[in-house]
A and B are shown apart, each in its own frame.
Chain A
Amino acid sequence: MRVLKEKDRILYDKLVRLAGGDSGIVIKVLSNPHRSSVDLKTAVREIEELRNSRNRTPASLAPQAAAV
């Protein structure tokens, strides 16, 4: 049973690209428990804010990104 629509997958991938490849940022924006929906404009703004704030965070304080 297909759950993820193709257009939704494309949108999600675009949001991850906007987040600089950090899907955690996208998940954080879309997991807001105080709302059930968000308009794309607001989501983009929040993703950019989070991305920029993480970029400003010194690397030593940022969580260690692991890779396989």
Chain B
Amino acid sequence: MSIAWATVVIVVLLLPGFAFFWGLYAPNQVTREVSPASPLTQLAGVVIISFFVHAFAYLVINRGLCVDFLSFPVPCVDFDELSALVRIDAFTLPGTAPATFRDMLDFYIFWIVLYFLATGAFTGLLGFGAGKLIENGHLRGFTRHRYLFLLEKGRKSEESELVRAHVLSRTQNLNTIIFYDGILQDFFAKADGTISYIVLHDANTSVMEITASGPAHSKNTIPLDVESGLRTTKPFLVITSENIANVYFEPLNTVRIESEADAEMLDDAIDRLEQSEGEAE
């Protein structure tokens, strides 16, 4: 029981560290997906951050806040009581004095909750700030797989940034290899940064032949989406890592929509084209 109680207390004490990593992963999906590559390192980070946050809070409270000149009395942190709290025996041992810790907890519960809320919010915001810095490329040392952030950049941009993916598959017949290309829709990386699977929109397939003079790419590509028409869910191609030899990512020109009139002009042009095609038929 005492071990379980001590574990609960320690987990609660580590809350600021957990809050930091929650904040760190919150701004983007890339770190959330690839950072747990080293859970032990992350746990060490939780312990270290929690230690320094509590030390800092102890310094601020006991040296600055729990003084008499404030209009409301902030209680000081009593380290002796805190360390004794880790031992549940202090509550339950037969023959010991009445449960002083229960009285202490009843009396200071507001301040204890406020302390953990404040330190959790502080470290959570600190982690969020660090996550934003990593996302924007300022903390390059913490960026393990930079190309993932480059791919994610388009999704966060207000403008239309498309990425075309050229996928060399592992499907081959003699010297001929299947090749796919399309607009990158989804991407998932494993913890070590390698590709888990990619999803292509408007995918095409072609072949590449390896000849004595080098690889020769076929001139014709075959669209996989032949007749999707106006279906709400467009077809997409999923290629898993087992079938991916390598991928060439090609960011396309960013399309700037400078006014609503531009978008309307595009709709009008499509209507004109489809009307003229209808009349021709």
Residues of A with Cβ closer than 8 Å to B? Answer: 1-5, 7-9, 11-18, 20, 23-24, 27, 29-32, 35-41, 43-44, 48, 63-68
Complex Cα spacing A41 to B258, Å: 9
Bitwise interface map of B from 149 to 169 toward A, beta carbon under 8 Å scored 1, else 0 = 001101100011111100000
B186 near A9 with CB under 8 A, answer no
Take A3-B151, A48-B269 as given contacts and tell me if A40 and B252 are in contact as well, using a CB distance cutoff of 8 Å: no
Known contacts: A30-B252, A64-B220, A65-B220. The answer to whether A1 contacts B202 by CB under 8 A is no
Chain B, range 263-278, C-beta contacts under 8 Å to A = 263, 265-267, 269-270, 273-274, 277
User: Would you mind naming 16 contact pairs between A and B with Cβ atoms under 8 Å apart?
Assistant: A4-B184, A4-B186, A8-B161, A9-B201, A12-B160, A12-B201, A20-B277, A23-B204, A27-B252, A30-B255, A31-B253, A32-B253, A37-B256, A38-B256, A44-B266, A63-B220
With A1-B151, A4-B186 already in contact, the answer to whether A18 and B273 are too (CB < 8 A) is yes
The answer to whether A12 touches B151, judged by C-beta atoms less than 8 angstroms apart, is: no
Asked, given contacts A3-B154, A17-B270, whether A41 binds B219 with beta carbons under 8 Å apart, the answer is: no
Bound CA span A6–B226, Å? 21
Query: In this assembly, does B222 line the interface, its C-beta being within 8 Å of a C-beta of chain A?
Result: yes
In the assembled complex, the CB of A1 is this many whole angstroms from the nearest CB of chain B, namely 5
In the complex with contacts A4-B186, A7-B160, A31-B164, A37-B266 CB distance below 8 A: no
- Shortest CB–CB separation between residue A28 and chain B, in angstroms? 10
A25 to B162, CA, bound (A): 15
- Say yes or no for B224: interface residue by CB 8 A criterion: yes
Asked if A3 contacts B252 (CB within 8 A), the reply is no
List of A residues within 8 angstroms of B257 by Cβ: 11, 39-40
Distance in Å: Cβ of B266 to nearest Cβ of chain A: 6
Choose among A2, A7, A68 the residue that contacts B222 (Cβ–Cβ < 8 A).
A68
Give the interface centre of A30, A31, A35, A63 by most chain B CB atoms within 10 Å. Answer: A30
B30 within 8 A of A: yes
| A63 touching B186 in the complex, CB below 8 Å, given contacts A11-B160, A30-B255 | no
Q: Check A41/B262 contact, CB under 8 A, given A1-B148, A3-B152, A18-B273.
A: yes
Please tell me if the beta carbons of A1 and B30 are within 8 angstroms of each other in the complex.
yes
The CA-CA distance from A24 to B202 in the complex, in Å, is 11
**5 nearest A-B pairs in the assembled complex, by CB-CB distance:** A37-B254, A30-B252, A40-B262, A4-B185, A8-B160
Q: Which of A3, A16, A31, A65 contacts B185 (CB 8 A)?
A: A3
Which of A4, A18, A43 is most buried by chain B, counting CB atoms within 10 A of its CB?
A: A4
Interface centre among A1, A12, A65, A66 (most CB of B within 10 A): A1
For residue B211, give the distance in angstroms from its CB to the closest CB of chain A. Answer: 21
Q: Is the CB of B148 within 8 A of A18?
A: no
Judge whether B220 and A67 touch: CB under 8 Å.
no
Task: Decide if A9 touches B152 in the complex (CB within 8 Å).
Answer: no
A14 touches B162 (CB 8 A): no
| Inter-chain contacts of B256 with A (CB < 8 A) | 37-40
